[in-house]
Amino acid sequence: MFRSLLSQRSRSFWSPFATASRLASSLHAKSPWHPPRNILIVNKMRTQPVILAIDAFLEHVHSTYPGVRVFHEDRPDIPHGAEVWHPVDNPVQGKQEKIDLVVTLGGDGTILHASSLFSSGAVPPVLSFSLGTLGFLLPFHIDDFAKALESVFQGRATILNRMRLACTFYNQDESQKPDQHKDWQVMNEIALHRGSSPHLNTIDIFVDGQHLTEAVSDGLIVSTPTGSTAYSLSAV
């Protein structure tokens, strides 16, 4: 599931993800809100604007919310003042810290990357900031990060749910492919394509075990209601 929080004061959205069932997500949405203690920063390539934004964000968090820990992916460009964090499916020795809030700096692609870091279980709420990049899932501009964080820490938000898709690959005998150790969790769409083959594919489509149709085509796209940035752009 993909979850969004609606700020009751600013009427702005911030967007989290989850893979739990609809019922479980609904119950989670009604549970008491606790201020984040561990924040994960996910950002696009560190250009000068990104570097300045991260530095300002870290300084603000450490001074305004001194008990909060800030983490970053294990990359060569990890910012000073952030701790290294590893995805759950790639643990390191020691305790894996639970992330309460993900902050993305970039565009829609950065949000998709943040979602992919949590390949199983629920994905923490994601607070998305735009850095001048085209995107339809970016409710806040980076200049407003202090007000957005204040809204989050004071709990002035409700959770809205959106779905993610789980994709598993099987052989013709319905056994799972040995090189696929886990499901692919997808936030926007799954695309099956004929690749370099010059011929059309014949695709049998089943829903809940029932044969729906046979398609002769280049491929097949299965989309969530969120869809892709291209869908949103084409509708503008």
Distance between CA 26 and CA 22 in Å, rounded? Answer: 6
Query: If you ran DSSP here, which 8-state letter would residue 16 be given?
Result: -
Residue 42 amino acid letter: V
Asked if residue 160 lies in contact with residue 5, where contact means CB atoms within 8 angstroms, the answer is yes
Q: At what angle do helices 48-64 and 145-153 cross, to 10 degrees?
A: 40
With DSSP H G I counted as helix, E B as strand and the rest as coil, what are the percentages for the chain, rounded to 5? 25, 30, 45
Task: Tell me the CA end-to-end span of the chain in Å, nearest whole number.
Answer: 26
Tokens 């204040």 locate to 150
Asked if residue 163 lies in contact with residue 2, where contact means CB atoms within 8 angstroms, the answer is yes
Tokens 């969120």 locate to 226
Catalytic residue among 74, 77, 108, 183: 108
Instruction: Respond yes or no: is residue 208 known to be catalytic.
Output: no
* Active-site residue list: 108
